[in-house]
Structures are given as C-alpha cells and as structure tokens.
Structure 1
Amino acid sequence: MAEIVNRVANSKLKTFDLEEIYPEGERVAIDISQWLENGFILREKEFRVQLKSFNWNHYTDKYVAIHCSTDAVLPAYTYLLVTAHLSGIAKKVVQGSLANLELVIFTELLQQLDTKPYENAPVIIKGCSNKPIPESAYLLLFQQLEKVSKSVMFGEACSSVPIYKKKK
C-alpha cells in the first residue's frame, strides 16, 4: 500500500488568509443625532457642551464609526468635533458605517503588506472566513498579490478558482 502524501503541504503554494491579519478590537458606531436638537438641528454651542460632558471612556481602544441616522444637514466640522473627543482614546475613527470602518482598516493593513513572501509563487486567497472581512478587502489583496505572484487563486487548495496567471 502506497504512502499517502500531502501534495498541497509539500507544494510551493502560499495561502493568504485575511482572517490572520484581522485586528482584534471591538467595533462600535456612534450616532451623532443623539446630540442634535430633535435629531436634526445642530446648535453649535449646545452641541459642544454635550460633547464635553459625554463619557468618552466607553470608546477606549475601540474602532469607531461616526454617522448620523437622520437626514440632518450638518456642517463638515461636526464629525471633526466628535473625532477630536475620541482622539487618544479610540484605536481608529472613521465617518460612516461599520462596513466603511472595516474597509478603512483593511485598506490601511493591505497598503502596508509585505509581498516579498509571495514573489513568483502561486498564491491562494482563502475564501471562507468567520470574521467580517469586507469583500473589497479581497480585491485590495488581489491587487497587491497580482504585482508579485506567479498566479492567484481563490478558495481552498482542494477547490480553488483560478483568478490570475502571470504571462510568460
């Protein structure tokens, strides 16, 4: 009887799992309509007073997305004032939804990606994840890997979909 050999483990195939670079930390959203009169009207003086008296410590070491759930028309500085109170407290602050927050986090991570280990190698981008990886993160990752790798596939080693192969 022949010995069973794991050809995938012995191959030059490199696997990239976005979950492995997923930064830990709670993600939270702040709705600024809570500080607006009737949820719509910004009165700067009252707004500043409310921000100053708010307990910002709830956001220590958290990733924060600031948004307004109403159709209030707000001056651009509104989000800056909230961000100023989170500065030095939160890990990261963005304007928008929690989905926007994840995209910003991954964009920054992937812009700093060391691609040397993937040079001229066949790479598979692992597709299944248990963490909320934004779909756009896969596109950003592909764009980084395409520049250096021999080929890029998506999925699992046993059932991958070819995406790119370097021309000879």
Structure 2
Amino acid sequence: MNQGTFINKAKASGIIALDLLDYKPTTEIVELDIKEHLFMGMIVKEKEFKESIAAVDFSVYKDKAVGIICSTDAIIPPWAYMLLMEKLSPYAIHVDLNNAETVLLDLWKRRLTYADLKAYKDQKVVVRAQASHDPSLYLLAAGLLKPLVKSLMYGEIGLPKVIFKQ
C-alpha cells in the first residue's frame, strides 16, 4: 500500500496571515460621565462644576484611556472639557470625547495605521476574518496593505476570499 506524504497545502501556498487582534490595544478604557458634576445633573454652573471637579481624585485614571461622556442631554461649554483635560492629562494616556467602545476603535485604528507592515511587502496576505471586528478595521487594513502586497485576501489561509491580485 502506497502511503503518501501529507502535504499542508495552506502552508505550501505561501500565504501569510494578518490578525487584526494583534493590533488591538490592551490599555484599560474607562468612561468619565460628567453628569455627576452638573447641577441637578443637567446644568453647568461654573463655581459648582469647578468645585466638583476639584474634589475628584484623578489619579484613578493613571495609565488608562478615558472616554468623556455625558449621559444626560445637557449643553456643556467647551471650557468644561478643557478643565477636564487639564485634570486628566497628568494621569490618563489618552482622553477623548467618546464612549469607551469608540475610544477603543479609535486607538485600534491608530495602532494599525502606525504599525510596521514591511513584513507583508510583496507577499500574499490574508486578513483573518473575525465577525466581531468593526468593518472599519478591514477598510483601513485594505488601504494600508494594497500598496504593499502581491495579493490581498480575507478569511483564513485555507479558504481565503481574494480581494485583489497584482
């Protein structure tokens, strides 16, 4: 009986995978709801707002990314955000006026944008599929990889969907 050698066709294809999870930030992201510092949860009264902010221990935000939100439909003057940034800047590594989910996505895109992708130059690359990833990550990855790669695919190495070939 002839016993052939097992050939791993996926490995033999020369396709390399890019996993977007490798670029996901590991920084803890927290939200700061400024509603807690508003008069009646709705109104910015300068003196009360400044006193409330002064009483906060901002060191709890050390080495974290902070998404500033307001869970009520209040009108917040720009100086209030500037005051928050002044208090957060010695501690937080990133501050944005968004919820935690949006801050995570923005940081993830930033990490991908500034990643060293030279290893993918002139290669056959598949961007691994993950249903839970935001589609904007795939859009960004395609834009970054297209000028570099020989072919770009989506899915898994064994059964990729070809996006483009040179």
Alignment match, 2:93: 91
1:35-46 equivalences in 2 (<5 Å) = 35-46=37-48
Q: 1:54-102 CA deviation, whole Å, 9 max, x = no partner?
A: 0112212112111111111111222222122111211211111122202
Question: 2:10 is matched by which residue type in structure 1?
Answer: V
Q: 1:120-152 CA deviation, whole Å, 9 max, x = no partner?
A: 2111111127xx743312211111001211111
1:63-102 equivalences in 2 (<5 Å) = 63-102=65-104
Matched, 1:113 2:115: yes
Mean CA deviation greater in 144-153 or 21-30? 21-30
| Contact 1:102 1:133 (C-alpha < 8 Å) held by counterparts | no
Alignment match, 1:57: 59
Partner secondary structure for residue 67 of structure 2: strand
Unaligned segments of structure 1, at least 5 residues = none
Alignment match, 2:125: 123
Equivalences, count: 164
Alignment match, 1:137: 137
| Contact 2:16 2:157 (C-alpha < 8 Å) held by counterparts | no
Q: Over the residues paired in the alignment, what is the CA RMSD in angstroms?
A: 1.7
Name the larger-Rg structure: 2
Q: Distance in 2 between matches of 1:66 and 1:32?
A: 7
TM-score (norm 2): 0.89
Identity of aligned residues (%): 31
Residue 37 of structure 1: CA displacement?
Answer: 0.8
TM-score (norm 1): 0.88
